[in-house]
Amino acid sequence: MWDYKKRVEQDLVRWREAGWVTPAGEAAIRSDLTAGARTLGLANALAILSAVLIGFAVMSFVGANWQDMPRLLRLGILIGSLWASYGLAGALASRGMAGFAHAAILLGVAIFGASIMLVSQMYHMDGNPPDAVLLWAAGGLLAGCVLRSNPALALTMVLVVIWGIMEAAIRGQVFWPFLGPWAIVSAAFYWRRWRPGLHLSGLALTGFVVSLGYLLNHGHAHGLVVAVGLLVVGASLAGSQLRPDLPGLWPGVLNYGIVIASAGLLALQFVNDPSLDVFVLLAVLALMASLAVIYRGMHTGNGIAVWLGYLGFSFEVLSIYVKTIGTLLDTSLFFLIAGLLVSALAAIAYRIHSKGAAREAA
């Protein structure tokens, strides 16, 4: 949908320059394009939501009193609704309603998952629940790849994450096999050239790396998380120099690196409970890193990095404040020094910001 809009807009410029379209005609086309996109976008979103709701309805059928039906009939209902959803998807797509078709595919994948659960219940199977989630994800991947459905792939990634969390929670340790299905679904996102999906992959992997800090080395591996985050940041900085032809990739990679490093840095200070001198060192480093991130974001037009920098800065200051309340450090002197330090940093931040704003205005 968005691709179409972008293409028409590019063409419009060309057509106007060639004198085929009058300025009034161009304005009319533009307004129609915006209106069309808005209503269709909303309709598609509602269709996806309705698929989620109907999927939940099928799943809550688990608790319903359907024990009176013979097992074969129950199985028939499940498989019938499975085929009906995919059939609906085909009918909608052949009428050119791609958004609704994706919603119907999503419903089909949801019914597949509900069926696995209902069959398990029918036969009192209570084995390893994560296995059922993984099987469900495999069904989602199949539908997503064969039917070229991005929403189905997104659901698959969510299921893979749920599977990984369940396995890690049962074992109480890092569940490395998570990375296998994660890589497969990420490859599918890449194959589809679907940016939101790749961001989903980035988020999932970020969560996994941050969890390492809590699961490795008896819960004290946050330094490793910081190191991984810094490596990702470094890779992004190096990459933007070496391969400037991929401008869409590097800022995104940078932001994930920032999130990973910040999560580790915060855990080092506030979860690990370090000694005072280490804490002060880490806090100063974290504040300086936030400023560096804001500066870099301003410099390169990476709005999300700026936002992450501000968020990190505020969160760091707030956490320092909360941590020092009620301790020996809770003296007016400490707050005075900390306050002066932070306000000095804030002043620098303001300078950098206004400099960036001035450059942007120019």
Partner 1 sequence: MTKSFARSWPAIALVAGIQTLVLCYIVYDRVMLLSRGREIVAEVIPIDPRDLFRGDYVTLGYAFTRSGDVDVSEATNVGDRIFVTLKQDAPEKWAVAAASRDYPASTAPENIVIKGIVSQVYPKNETSPARASIRYGIESYFIPEGTGRKLEQDVRDKKISAVLAVGASGEVAIKSLKIDGKLFVEEPLL
* 127 close to 90: Cβ distance less than 8 angstroms: no
Q: Does residue number 64 form part of the binding site for partner 1 (CB under 8 A)?
A: yes
Contact pick of 12, 47, 58, 89 for partner 1 (by CB under 8 A): 89
Name the CA dihedral angle for 326, 332, 337, 338, rounded to a multiple of 10 degrees.
30
Q: Does residue number 1 form part of the binding site for partner 1 (CB under 8 A)?
A: no
| Pick 88 or 203: Cβ nearer partner 1 | 88
Distance of closest approach, residue 133 Cβ to partner 1, in angstroms:
14
Separation of alpha carbons 15 and 229, rounded Å: 47
| Pick 108 or 202: Cβ nearer partner 1 | 108
* Number of chain positions touching partner 1 (CB under 8 A): 49
Q: Does residue number 172 form part of the binding site for partner 1 (CB under 8 A)?
A: yes
Q: Does residue number 161 form part of the binding site for partner 1 (CB under 8 A)?
A: no
Q: Does residue number 48 form part of the binding site for partner 1 (CB under 8 A)?
A: no
Which is nearest to 288 in space by CA: 349, 226, 218?
A: 349
Contact pick of 48, 93, 161, 228 for partner 1 (by CB under 8 A): 93
Contact pick of 29, 40, 77, 147 for partner 1 (by CB under 8 A): 147
Q: Is the dihedral of CA 57, 60, 63, 69 positive or negative?
A: positive
Contact pick of 51, 133, 143, 233 for partner 1 (by CB under 8 A): 143
Q: Does residue number 236 form part of the binding site for partner 1 (CB under 8 A)?
A: no
Contact pick of 79, 318, 341, 347 for partner 1 (by CB under 8 A): 79
Return the DSSP state at 127.
Answer: S
What is the DSSP track for 167-231? HHHHHTS--GGGHHHHHHHHHHHHHTT-HHHHHHHHHHHHHHHHHHHHHSGGG--HHHHHHHHHH
Instruction: Give the range of 69-77, 215-223, 229-237, 352-360 binding partner 1 by CB under 8 A.
Output: 69-77
Distance of closest approach, residue 63 Cβ to partner 1, in angstroms:
6
What is the DSSP track for 92-123? HHHTT-HHHHHHHHHHHHHHHHHHHHHHHHHT
CA–chain centroid gap for 304, Å, is 14
* Footprint of partner 1 (CB under 8 A): 63-65, 67-68, 70-72, 75, 78-79, 82-83, 86-87, 89-90, 93-94, 98, 101-102, 108, 112, 115-116, 119-128, 135, 139, 142-143, 146-149, 167, 170-173
